[in-house]
Amino acid sequence: MITIALSKGRIFEETRPLLAAAGIVPAEDPEASRKLIIPTNRADVRLLIVRATDVPTYVQHGGADMGIAGRDVLIEHGGEGLYQPLDLKIARCRMMVAVREGFDYAGRVKEGARIRVATKYVSTAREHFASKGVHVDLIKLYGSMELAPLVGLADAIVDLVSTGGTLKANGLVAVEHITDISSRLVVNQASLKTKRALLRPLFDAFTSAIESQPA
Ligand code: PRT
Ligand code: MG
């Protein structure tokens, strides 16, 4: 049996074609079902529906043999105990620093001021600002980071941006690009050894599906 951990929403939707390429079709739609374990058309493959940030934890501890997680999530998790064989090139976005329109970010940095930064991505943010020599006070949030600068909780946020629509709708502008993000396949290191014969064809099917996608 192979157990694959993934989250509902964009990751599930963008993984569906990759699963199909490997001949795997979920028996139910996780968006509609309340089930957390979703069987598939293959008796030896099942899906676990977990929070995006919990995928690495399930795979690391063997609750799932493999999973699909954003690089944003993997950087924060640390990747310990995970084999990361493939960039699936799905759920792509950019990790950015953003501020309220009119906030002089470059000026504040230049004068060496401390900047208050709200984010869910504390490790990524800490490393980014340290590498630039920018002094920051980090404020940990779990979502809706865009709100923080609007109510004076922070001067800046570190968040993911795809269309830019959310920043725009909230009067924010991106001022720095930190890194490009996409989702990775993560595999439990013990499963990789004990279930190689089952896993290998999945990796191969995913690889050729990715290669046939436009870049
Ligand atoms: O939503 P929930 O709290 O349940 O969990 P989650 O946000 O961790 O999960 P989900 O499903 O929203 O995101 C899963 C993964 O998708 C993330 O870990 C990223 O790797 C990837 N991804 C790709 C994104 C985005 N694009 C994205 N745009 N994750 C989040 N966003 C958010 C962003 O945080 C911001 O609030 O969308 C908003 C910006 O979008 P635009 O299009 O307005 O720029
Ligand atoms: Mg979300």
Give mean pLDDT, residues 169-188. Answer: 98
pLDDT at position 214 is: 75
Whether residues 172 and 188 fall in one domain: no
> What is the residue whose two structure tokens read 């993934």?
6
Residue 148: CATH number of its domain: 3.40.190.10
Whether residues 57 and 72 fall in one domain: yes
In the predicted model, what is the mean pLDDT of the chain? 97
Q: Residue 79 pLDDT more than 90?
A: yes
Q: Evaluate whether 65 touches 193 at the Cβ level (below 8 Å).
A: no
pLDDT at position 170 is: 98
Q: Residue 215 pLDDT more than 80?
A: no
Whether residues 81 and 108 fall in one domain: no
Q: Which of 92, 85, 86 is nearest to 70 (CA)?
A: 92
Output the DSSP codes for 174-211: EEEEEEEE-EEEEEEHHHHHHTHHHHHHHHHHHHHHHH
User: What is the three-class DSSP state of 62?
Assistant: coil
Whether residues 108 and 33 fall in one domain: no
pLDDT in tens, 112-131: 999 999 999 999 999 999 99
Give mean pLDDT, residues 52-76. Answer: 98
Which ligand gives the minimal distance to the CA of 11? 1
Whether residues 168 and 197 fall in one domain: no
Q: Which of 30-34, 90-94, 182-186 has the lowest mean pLDDT?
A: 30-34
Q: Dihedral sign for Cα 79, 85, 89, 91, please.
A: negative
C-alpha of residue 31 to centroid of ligand 2, in Å = 14
Whether residues 56 and 100 fall in one domain: no
Whether residues 109 and 133 fall in one domain: yes
Whether residues 85 and 12 fall in one domain: yes
pLDDT at position 59 is: 98
Q: Which of 97, 55, 98, 62 is nearest to 77 (CA)?
A: 55
Total structural domains within the chain: 2
d(CA 84, CA 74): 10
Q: Which of 73, 76, 77 is nearest to 138 (CA)?
A: 76
Q: Residue 213 pLDDT more than 90?
A: no
Whether residues 127 and 83 fall in one domain: no
pLDDT level of residue 203 (50, 70, 90 thresholds) = very high
Whether residues 149 and 202 fall in one domain: no
Q: Residue 208 pLDDT more than 80?
A: yes
d(CA 107, CA 84): 40
Whether ligand 1 lies within 6 angstroms of the CB of 49 is answered as: no
pLDDT at position 39 is: 98
- The residues, ordered by sequence, that sit 6+ positions from 29 with a Cβ below 8 Å of its Cβ are none
Residues 37, 27, 9, CA angle at the centre, nearest 5°? 65
Whether residues 174 and 125 fall in one domain: yes
- The model's pTM is 0.96
pLDDT at position 157 is: 98
Whether residues 68 and 124 fall in one domain: no
Q: Which of 10, 9, 4 is nearest to 182 (CA)?
A: 10
The residue whose C-alpha atom lies closest to atom 20 belonging to ligand 1 is: 70
pLDDT at position 187 is: 98
Whether ligand 1 lies within 6 angstroms of the CB of 164 is answered as: yes
Give the residue numbers spanning the domain of 112. 93-180
Q: Which of 121, 97, 102, 79 is nearest to 175 (CA)?
A: 97
Q: Dihedral sign for Cα 149, 154, 155, 156, please.
A: negative
